[in-house]
Structure 1
């Protein structure tokens, strides 16, 4: 009965957002096979353009995850000791275990010898441990968790205007990547100063505070939510995809190509805000139906899915890549297969005792 009551009160819109973000991360990583070449060179052919069409909207995945963390965690109300203990068990311990597993995984794939594998495990506390790119997110998330109790008193007492003040300056910082095209050094930047004027208002913290603002002042569904959400998503996508397509004709290196894909750009923030506002209010007439239960289950297991998916992704890439020439067919097949299989594997792991130390 308690489980049924909890399910009926659960915000399924936020579950959908987490499931969507989880899938989009996998699709982004599936796309990397088809536009990133050796030495960071852009691959030739139509692959990069297909990746642009499919994955430009998917750049919102990480911001959506961060917004969900902010929505649920801020302001932190429990004692700092309890807050960090919970995050350690649910986030840090599984992260360390998976860093070690990826080091061993690379050994069995012939990408590292035994000595390098041991060294990679020892390096986990320094950075990554192994060059498995998606693990960067966990370091960033832990950093946000460390700051969460510090900023919580301000969030708890901040007026609407003071939160708007922060968000407006944060929004200005989202234009800096484009300003750098004209002024490489901006508002105090120089080779001896990496903390310019907008430094303390930039970064992923803005997404967390944006989510708190939505929770405090935009929780009730309004008529204007739908048109504004769609406008933000469409405008953001056009800039994100259009900028990528334009630069595809003029640059040769992946970092230069991905300018409009940056998480700290105004267009990605617009898409993230639009998606969050659009989906957060979704409700189901029957919260006990099988599809809703599956969505809820995937949402609960999303951290484990995130951690394991690169292993599964490589497996399906090797299966599907030789089958078709068209990246337009291969990319979604690899992503969907990886998503479903990763969920099933983590679901299986969740049935074992103390699985929380592995899957979060």
Structure 2
């Protein structure tokens, strides 16, 4: 939904389409941040299941290998073809250009996710050690520092267009822009918060969601970056949604067949993320439309998702397919 509503960057507030794609952006913005929360929920306590050596080996196979492989493939694609969003043209290819582009995330801009998750993996053993010592309270303190620093200092300064030199503050991982999501996901998942505290998180999330939708509906704040990952609206909307889904799933009985389907679909997520720009471009070409088309905005999320699922599942069955799409 986020990537098929990119018309938000090519239209203005006077265009009827602008409000529609802005609403899509507002609704879907928690997507990647919830993925970071799920990653934290599943990985921070890894020491109860594996050694740190095994942890890094599995993470390397699941993330480093596909990052390198698909960076090479997308770079080759970028030489002659285009797609949006993500791929960046490389009219003068060379080994040095590839290495420089790889180091600066200039092969496929959507691959920023890989670089972030790898950074979070590097700090996971330190966070896991606190869990082993039964010091989850320190993890909560880290989330508080993250929220205060990013949501209530840096974000307001950005909105007010006040520039300060915060390089020395940003370097420590404690204020890294996605660490708060990573740790919060683990704390929520492991019932660190009481039911009343979870209700509060859900309530704040609902308020942030209402603010987000109301601003879009009323055409307010078109110049504000309300989808900024460091802003309080996105953080608390994501945390509230994550907590709400957790709460709902406790009371929902999933059949074995439904669980198998969900597990299969979930296994395709990384592959979908990697290849979906190609299918957005392909469908635009086949239908002779652009991202300003309502078909592109409203139907492509489903069309692209289904096409990618089929491709990923087929490739996974081929020899070596599990390395192409872990």
Decide: shared fold, TM above 0.5. yes
In structure 2, the partner of 1:92 is 64
Q: Secondary structure at the match of 1:261?
A: coil
Q: Secondary structure at the match of 1:316?
A: helix
TM-fit CA distance, 1:321:
6.6
TM-fit CA distance, 1:214:
1.3
Does structure 2 conserve the Cα–Cα contact (< 8 Å) formed by 1:320 and 1:330? no
**CA 1:87 to 1:243, structure 2 compared with 1: closer, same or farther past 3 Å?**
same
In structure 2, the partner of 1:195 is 168
* Structure 2 residues without counterparts, runs of 5 or longer: 83-87
TM-fit CA distance, 1:57:
2.2
Does structure 2 conserve the Cα–Cα contact (< 8 Å) formed by 1:346 and 1:359? yes
1:189-217 deviation line (CA, Å, top 9, x unaligned)? 43xx5123896334211111111211333
TM-fit CA distance, 1:92:
0.7
**CA 1:100 to 1:243, structure 2 compared with 1: closer, same or farther past 3 Å?**
farther
In structure 2, the partner of 1:315 is 282
In structure 1, the partner of 2:139 is 163
Matches within 5 A, 1:1-360: 27-32=1-6, 34-37=7-10, 45-77=15-47, 78-109=50-81, 112=89, 115-116=92-93, 120-123=97-100, 125-130=102-107, 132-173=108-149, 174-175=151-152, 176-182=154-160, 184-185=162-163, 189-190=164-165, 193-196=166-169, 200-218=174-192, 222=195, 225=198, 228=200, 231-242=203-214, 245-248=219-222, 251=223, 257=224, 259-281=225-247, 282=249, 284-289=252-257, 291-319=258-286, 322=289, 327=294, 330-360=296-326
Does structure 2 conserve the Cα–Cα contact (< 8 Å) formed by 1:243 and 1:260? no
Which piece of structure 1 moves more, 107-116 or 81-90?
A: 107-116
**CA 1:321 to 1:144, structure 2 compared with 1: closer, same or farther past 3 Å?**
farther
Aligned-partner Cα distance in 2 for 1:151–1:337:
39
Does structure 1 conserve the Cα–Cα contact (< 8 Å) formed by 2:226 and 2:233? yes
Does structure 2 conserve the Cα–Cα contact (< 8 Å) formed by 1:103 and 1:120? no
Q: TM-score when scaled to structure 2? A: 0.83
Q: Secondary structure at the match of 2:324?
A: helix
TM-fit CA distance, 1:126:
1.4
* Structure 1 residues without counterparts, runs of 5 or longer: 1-26, 252-256
In structure 2, the partner of 1:15 is none
Q: Which has the higher contact order (CA 8 A, sep 6+)?
A: 1
**CA 1:197 to 1:338, structure 2 compared with 1: closer, same or farther past 3 Å?**
closer
**CA 1:286 to 1:238, structure 2 compared with 1: closer, same or farther past 3 Å?**
closer
Aligned-partner Cα distance in 2 for 1:312–1:114:
22
* Alignment root-mean-square deviation, CA: 3.1
Task: Provide the aligned length of Structure 1 versus Structure 2.
Answer: 312
Q: TM-score when scaled to structure 1? A: 0.76
Q: Secondary structure at the match of 1:195?
A: helix
